[in-house]
Chains A and B, each alone.
Chain A
């Protein structure tokens, strides 16, 4: 019965392994080194994203706690800037351009094929943490449409049949 009480202090969220512990320690160290803390929220979030690769809920909660500010405020800032992300991205980031030119030349089919090959939807990350699939608006390579971008490398005039092979190169790496 009392466990259902809102916000009640039970045990703190458990930190699963030494790796995560070390990441939190790094963040604590960084925050401790700053003369002004609340004023440096954005810098702290940047550092945290470098350390953790993203800014999941626990990390934002921890920062709110360190800075003694409401978690809602941290969340508001994270959601405002596009360079912050709450979900961890995979090792390789796959982008399908969905700008007008690519769209006209069948980008949608490419996107579907990538989704099929990776078994995820756009915006998601594969379970093994290898790939994140995103979509882009026009990378300025319209002459090469349809375009696929992996980790910044541009593949032009992609055909559905090539997708498997291209992705394969990254599976090995």
Chain B
């Protein structure tokens, strides 16, 4: 049923149950918001109405109404721009700022902070009340996330994201009234919780209360040390998002400029994680065939997302034998760089620093996992920086990104196929794996190499593929809440799947916790995904097993796929953890 009302004297008709905020948006009136966040695609709806920044006047009501949580009623007369409403909003922001640290200039969210933008939009010029600014210790315990509760505005977006979308439940509002803060259980350091380090909480935090652990300085140090041979590797999802950091439209493909920028920053070699993604597919497809042949346990689950790995270690420690044992692509890359490439070039592996540029916060944590390296002092990957951190390095160096020429990756570890590109979006890993597995299992070339059924933002996607007369059941999920549903099915014994791809971040890595902030605009994620598929179509080779550099690597160095040497270098094991 439609509801008729007027907003700022303009008649509007919207479906019953619509909020004033959404009704206003249909006639291009933007009411400012702060705590509110509604991401339909991720099924995230944070509407606790705590900040009251979105208040409007409703005729006949004495008090102002929060538009984000007040549904429209027939004949309602709403005014969004009265002096009273505007003043109230400004006062709310002033109050929030009264005990907020005034350290914008040195905050990593500077110029990317919703609170700051709001203060500017509302013309806050002085803060009348002065409260205490730093009452809480900053949690830097983990290798991935920094938590500064002093900058928390209690919007609880992180809690909704972590509890409802990811179903990990790390955070809770603690205390009462003005004393409330969002904290971990018993204020435990983040690394002692079940946190997966997916970084989705910091992707939606409007302030600098949650940020990634900044490792830019470590990279500069390595680059400026003449003893170090510094190698960059870049994940697929970075090249379709980095441009946003320089004002290019979402979905711009900037692969060539990104390579040029990295070379100017002083990296000795610029390689592609996609090379290792092709390698991952060859290993994983062989592992799958091995399980099929030997009657091993199915379904096989992908293991290239470290947040997903940590999730199942904590939440499903009884299922540790079903995920693939393949390391994630950037970890495979690290080993190959320090063994194969070091041999090839005659460089002492101890001199090599591998820097992964990732859309991901969890990979910072992953790189520090003790089993992923020769010994704790020689990890496979030395430093991980996010897309955002790379953008910052480029700015720090004064490089005019838009004006850079396109340059090519170095070889041989810069070679990749279209199958590797699509790792960057949900459904891509399975699609890539099928392009290879299908040909190997059936012995025939694949007629239709694009698997539309695994594309798009649907939370759980399924399809049955006929392979040499056997029905092969495949599922794709993204977002850990969706993953949980599938794993519970497996636990209960009513899953008939053969293979499942799981990514922690909604949308896959294009929506990773380390990507340029989307500020609630899901169209940005869709544009990045579309760009990934464009980049795939631009490639001549689109199946991982056709990657010539990967073939050479097996011939000259690794031997058989899934063989002894491959096992030693490219596979890992998982650890039972507790749920907290």
**Chain A residues with a Cβ under 8 A of chain B:** 1-2, 4-9, 57, 60-61, 64-65, 69-76, 79-80, 82
Contacts and interface: CB of A to CB of B under 8 A. Distances in A.
A81 B532 CA distance: 50
B193 to A, nearest CB: 7
Contacts of B370: 1-2, 4-5
B577 to A, nearest CB: 4
B515 interface: no
Given A72-B171, A79-B176, 16 more contacts: A4-B370, A6-B191, A7-B314, A7-B580, A8-B575, A9-B575, A9-B577, A9-B578, A61-B580, A70-B170, A70-B580, A72-B169, A73-B172, A74-B185, A75-B186, A82-B176
A4 B191 CA distance: 10
B371 interface: yes
Interface in B343-378: 369-371, 376
Contacts of B174: 75-76, 79-80
A80 B176 contact: yes
A1 B172 contact: no
Interface residues of B, number: 31
B163 interface: yes
B518 interface: no
Contacts of B192: 6-7
A72 B170 CA distance: 6
Nearest to B179: A79
Contact of B376 (A1, A9, A60): A1
Interface of B: 142, 163, 168-176, 183-186, 191-194, 314, 317, 369-371, 376, 575-580
A7 B345 CA distance: 40
A79 B174 CA distance: 6
A127 B271 CA distance: 62
Which residue, A57, A70, A82, has most C-beta atoms of chain B within 10 A? A70
Nearest to B172: A76
25 contacts: A1-B370, A5-B370, A5-B575, A6-B191, A6-B192, A7-B193, A7-B580, A9-B575, A9-B577, A60-B185, A61-B185, A64-B185, A65-B579, A69-B169, A70-B168, A70-B169, A70-B580, A72-B183, A73-B172, A74-B185, A75-B172, A76-B174, A79-B176, A80-B174, A82-B176
Nearest to A71: B185
Nearest to A78: B174
A10 to B, nearest CB: 9
A156 B561 CA distance: 85
A154 B176 CA distance: 29
Nearest to B190: A6
Contacts of A71: 185-186, 580
B185 A8 contact: no
A3 to B, nearest CB: 10
